[in-house]
Structure 1
Amino acid sequence: MACYFRRTIASKLSKILGAPEETLLAAVSAFPVSKKQQSPDFRLSVSSLVEKGLIQSAGDIQAQTEQLAHQLKWSSVVEEIGVGPAVIHFKINKTLLAKKLLHQISSEGSDFGVKSELFKRSPKGETIVEFSSPNIAKKFHAGHLRSTIIGNFIANLKEALGNNVTRINYLGDWGMQFGLLGAGFKLFGSEEKLKANPLQHLFDVYVQVNKEAKSNEDIQKSAQDFFRRLEGGDDQALSLWQHFRHISIEEYKKVYKRLGVHFGEYSGESMYQGKIQDILQQLREQGLLKTTQRGTGVVDLSPEKDMSLCTTVVRSDGTSLYITRDLTAAIDRKHRYNFAEMIYVTDKSQQNHFEQTFKILEAMGFQWAQCCRHVPFGLVQGMKTRKGDVVFLEDVLDEARARMLQNMRNSRTTKVLENPEDTAEKVGISALIVQDFKGPLLSDYRFDWDRVLQSQGDTGVFLQYTHARLRSLLRMCDDGEEETFDPSLLQDKRAISILQHLLRYDEVLHQSSVDLQPKHLVNFLLALGRLVAVAHRDLPVKDSPSAVAQARLQLFRSTCTVLASGMKILGITPVEKM
């Protein structure tokens, strides 16, 4: 019970320093497990206490550290107190550690970690996460994979922490390209092909009409005419566009289902066409909209208001831009959802766009713009299938499933499965997610199928294998009843290492909730998998004395619970067998 031990230490500190326990809790953290030696269980950063003004700086921080450590007394909970560089270490009674921690995991289940006191001050409320956002009438591009899985992770995490989350898929469903597609479908479209393979046919039509339009002015005029009629609300043009939009969403849902992703709202740029003029009028009335010599409408964001830093929001012909539609969407969402925070997940090329969007909203007097956040990510390089360079996400998912299925067939340890294709799909997607989430989101990375699908090492396959192995152990040895166990029988260093690592789970979730980076959780779970591999080998359950077996089973059962919970937050569906 991380909170129990952390609060015990914070309570002792509170009596000495005269500061509230709640303030001191965050300064006490679980100690990372060391391979070389048995680690302390918790540490207190005296430097952080000085920074927060909880201790007055007296120059020699090490002397202050030693003085404070001397004032702290051992107890039935804390058995040993030591000193490091500006840090105080605490060793907990290990029998009590096993008893309290495993009981808490058993009673809380998937809520373990997310109900921690570390989140007590975290704001709860409506959270909007906008992610994925493909362009309709086009097959789901592989480039949208990162936005989709990152956004899903953020939404899962926020939901687990008690926020009411609305997942928005903001589709690219407006613009001149639909004029081209509308004109092209009349020339090259086929209802029969559209029914058979909707997005592939629309993609083929778009490629063909785009090529023809470069040398054919009549097609260019037809495209302009179609889009003009679309913007004017022409029934025939709107009907065709709505047809394209509907079948696109239905096709996307098939891919999202494979990824385990869902949305509360499918919106798009088209939704805000009729509201843009109201926003532009508001900008005019507030004196924020300026007209340049070229006739474009801009908002001056320069500190000195000398037009040195302007953002264009209206073209010279009066038509809107992407940023205009994003401003309109943000204001509309605040009105409809009254969100506490709104998070946009897109690639890093849009960082400047969102900075400008948030600044304009603030300039308009919307203080809630400070609750808007952009989570940028880097690019994936070298993603190829056996067919060649990847274009469509479906090809990536198919490739992951096919390669994983082949690996499973070649493995001597693969179990007999009812649906091997489904297992291969889930494990393959796990591999894609973990590969993507191991490092900082902002970094580009090079994709390598062989490395991604390895069963050993830091991979999603290894996580799934660890979970399946634990589930197998529980099926074989667990009679389904929660029995009492003797925590004194879990004093082996391998068991202690797992317990110490589990103490960090809530801190890892808290760190991920602060910077919205999944790497903390991924690396925690991978480290847990490595500790489990050693313990599974050295701490047998079968053929051990009954009391020892029951204690170890409780350890493995709790570990499996935390592993599965963390995987689900990442967007991974744990498999029972593989």
Structure 2
Amino acid sequence: MYKQIAAELLAKSLNKSAEEIEEQMERPKQLQHGDYAFPCFALAKEKRQAPQIIAAELANDLSHDVFSGITARGGYVNFKLDKQIAGSRVLRSIHQQRERYGSAAVGQGQVVAIDLSSPNIAKPFSMGHLRSTVIGNSISLLLEKQGYEVVRINHVGDWGTQFGKLMCAYEKWGEEAKVRSNTIPELLKLYIRFHEEAANDEQLEQEGREWFRKLEQGDAYANKLWRWFRDASMEEFERVYQLMGVRFDSDAGEAFYNDKMERVIEELEQKKLLSWSEGAQVVRLDEQELPPSLIKKKDGATLYATRDLAAAIYRKETYGFSESLYVVGHEQSLHFRQLKLVLKKMGYEWADGISHLSFGMVLQDGKKMSTRKGKLVLLDKVLKQAIQLAAANIAKKNPELADKEEVARQVGVGAVLFHDLKHERIRDIEFSLEDMLRVEGETGPYVQYTHARACTLLTKAGDIRCDSEVAAAIAADAWPILSLLMQFPEAVADAIANHDPSRIAKYVIDLAQAFNSYYGKVRILDEDDDLGARLAIVKAVAIVLAEGLRLLGIAAPKQM
């Protein structure tokens, strides 16, 4: 709000648009220099003056009652907010709006379809699928905060040659009783064994392909095995999703589109977009200097591209999305570029609303985790270890805590989720259980503990009324907190614009650190004239920390 006021003042003086000015505005690195800064360097050539002179002239001309000072410093125009006015206004807004603070209606009436998580059936839920799940879930929550209707889609990998290989392995080495009692781990062992044996036996690969061909042709036994593997996998996945608090509106996987691909192929033929290449059918993308999109293989089998074209068209017709987001690793970037271009060639202008939100990998010893080689870390085990550690900390530090098991779950799961989400979406993450489970520093438990501390202070204060009119006597100590509270709506908008939840994770860390610094300097519950104002700050921090954690898909316990 105040940044917009500063931008409008500058825009009027410079005869430019406020939106253009606001994009150029920055926050000074030192809070004492001001709350907003406008760099004048780009104006130097246009005005044929030194940036320092332009800044000085602008600062001299501008004024507004919400700013206690507008000054020039080294080619910047710095805007310093009136602490009393701005501080009391932000506290009033947070107290009145509570969890709605930072919300907007920009997405009202618009639907966003988001493809996230998408694990492969008959394989354990590994750390490799954590990123898509938690990033996609957080982006969904952020979009909903701006008024969008979000359709969460779990496009599970439940079709393909790998299932023929698994069926082949089960028939050769599987024991039904073992697999039924411990389905996913036993299937994983069979899958790994298949690839170990196939390295020395070329015939095995052919047998795997034969089994998948049976499945495609509707063989009753192959279909029975596939259904068993899928149902057991979905049950296992749902248990993990519930633990993390993640939900979906659709779990229509790859197999769902089996009867929807022929329409796509016929449409491509009618529009004369298919070409032959080495016996396969493709859509050429030469004009974009990209390799062709492979639609049908020599043997008539369809591919990911065919399936994803059918899925995109189905989702548009079913949900009427304005945007369709795919939270999938960066190694699939070419595939999604091709998907979008083929849809455009088919005449679907809505393909402009498709975005691939790529992300970095979870690495182990600098290498990608591999199910095929058995090199993976199971998410279920990591979550359980995190919960056990949280429970041990509670037993040691607060054994009388009510709902100990639930709080341990919230803190343990929060630690794992926050460790992922605090990293920028596009960066790779090195898996480290030790770092993930730390409860100090830039971690989820640290933010949760700060929220619980604020809630405890409010409980101890009892019926004492919060006063959102910030007294001048405490403004200096509290200003770093108040300044950050004002930035929450910007942080939300920034996270959505960049589809990057790490912006929210960094924000709640900064707010938690500012509050703990304040807590260390000020006796908050001292009964003096400023007690109501201090409690107003504590209450606002508790509200915003809880909402920031919620947008990351993390719970905010009131006691720890």
Q: What is the TM-score when the length of structure 2 is the normalising length? A: 0.89
| Aligned residue in 1 for 2:487 | 504
Describe the SS at the equivalent of 2:80.
strand
Deviation readout 1:175-212 (Å, 9 max, x if unpaired)? 12223334554555555445433322333444456666
1: CA distance between counterparts of 2:82 and 2:288?
62
Q: Residue 185 of structure 2 is aligned with which of 200, 208, 212? A: 200
- C-alpha contact (below 8 Å) 1:489/1:548 kept by paired residues: no
After superposition, residues 235-314 of structure 1 pair within 5 angstroms as 235-292=220-277, 294-303=278-287, 309-314=291-296
- C-alpha contact (below 8 Å) 1:41/1:91 kept by paired residues: yes
Matched length: 553
- C-alpha contact (below 8 Å) 1:401/1:424 kept by paired residues: yes
- C-alpha contact (below 8 Å) 1:79/1:93 kept by paired residues: yes
- C-alpha contact (below 8 Å) 1:477/1:541 kept by paired residues: no
Q: Residue 436 of structure 1 is aligned with which of 420, 430, 433? A: 420
| Aligned residue in 2 for 1:533 | 516
Whether 1:64 aligns to 2:54 is yes
Describe the SS at the equivalent of 2:358.
strand
The 10-residue stretch of structure 1 (207-216 or 178-187) with the greater mean CA deviation from structure 2 = 207-216
Structure 2 counterpart of 1:41, which letter? D
| Aligned residue in 2 for 1:89 | 78
- Relative to structure 1, the CA distance from residue 86 to residue 271 in structure 2 (aligned partners, 3 Å threshold; closer, same or farther) is farther
Give the drift of 1:281: 2.2
| Aligned residue in 2 for 1:40 | 34
Give the drift of 1:327: 1.5
| Aligned residue in 1 for 2:319 | 337
- C-alpha contact (below 8 Å) 2:127/2:362 kept by paired residues: no
2: CA distance between counterparts of 1:224 and 1:24?
60
2: CA distance between counterparts of 1:389 and 1:184?
19
Deviation readout 1:465-514 (Å, 9 max, x if unpaired)? 111111111121143x7654542256342201100111111111111111
After superposition, residues 327-406 of structure 1 pair within 5 angstroms as 327-382=309-364, 390-406=376-392
Describe the SS at the equivalent of 2:447.
helix
- Relative to structure 1, the CA distance from residue 222 to residue 539 in structure 2 (aligned partners, 3 Å threshold; closer, same or farther) is same
Whether 1:425 aligns to 2:409 is yes
Give the drift of 1:339: 0.7
Structure 2 counterpart of 1:107, which letter? Q
2: CA distance between counterparts of 1:274 and 1:220?
26
1: CA distance between counterparts of 2:119 and 2:71?
55
Whether 1:551 aligns to 2:536 is no
| Aligned residue in 2 for 1:126 | 111
Structure 1 counterpart of 2:259, which letter? G
| Aligned residue in 1 for 2:90 | 101
2: CA distance between counterparts of 1:8 and 1:221?
69
1: CA distance between counterparts of 2:76 and 2:109?
33
Describe the SS at the equivalent of 2:440.
coil
Describe the SS at the equivalent of 2:519.
helix
| Aligned residue in 1 for 2:165 | 180
Q: What is the TM-score when the length of structure 1 is the normalising length? A: 0.87
- C-alpha contact (below 8 Å) 1:33/1:500 kept by paired residues: no
1: CA distance between counterparts of 2:291 and 2:272?
16
In the alignment, structure 2 segments of 5+ residues that lack a partner are: 367-373
In the alignment, structure 1 segments of 5+ residues that lack a partner are: none
The 10-residue stretch of structure 1 (249-258 or 10-19) with the greater mean CA deviation from structure 2 = 10-19
Structure 2 counterpart of 1:336, which letter? T
2: CA distance between counterparts of 1:378 and 1:221?
34
- C-alpha contact (below 8 Å) 1:176/1:227 kept by paired residues: yes
1: CA distance between counterparts of 2:77 and 2:161?
64
Deviation readout 1:134-174 (Å, 9 max, x if unpaired)? 11122212211111111111111111111100111111101
Q: Residue 300 of structure 2 is aligned with which of 318, 340, 356? A: 318
Deviation readout 1:280-339 (Å, 9 max, x if unpaired)? 2222222321112x201222111288xx73232221111111122111111111111111
Give the drift of 1:225: 4.9
1: CA distance between counterparts of 2:394 and 2:126?
28
2: CA distance between counterparts of 1:15 and 1:210?
68
Give the drift of 1:220: 6.6
| Aligned residue in 1 for 2:100 | 111
Give identity over the alignment, percent: 31
Describe the SS at the equivalent of 1:457.
coil
| Aligned residue in 2 for 1:80 | 69
Structure 2 counterpart of 1:395, which letter? K
The 10-residue stretch of structure 1 (551-560 or 205-214) with the greater mean CA deviation from structure 2 = 205-214
- C-alpha contact (below 8 Å) 1:494/1:531 kept by paired residues: no
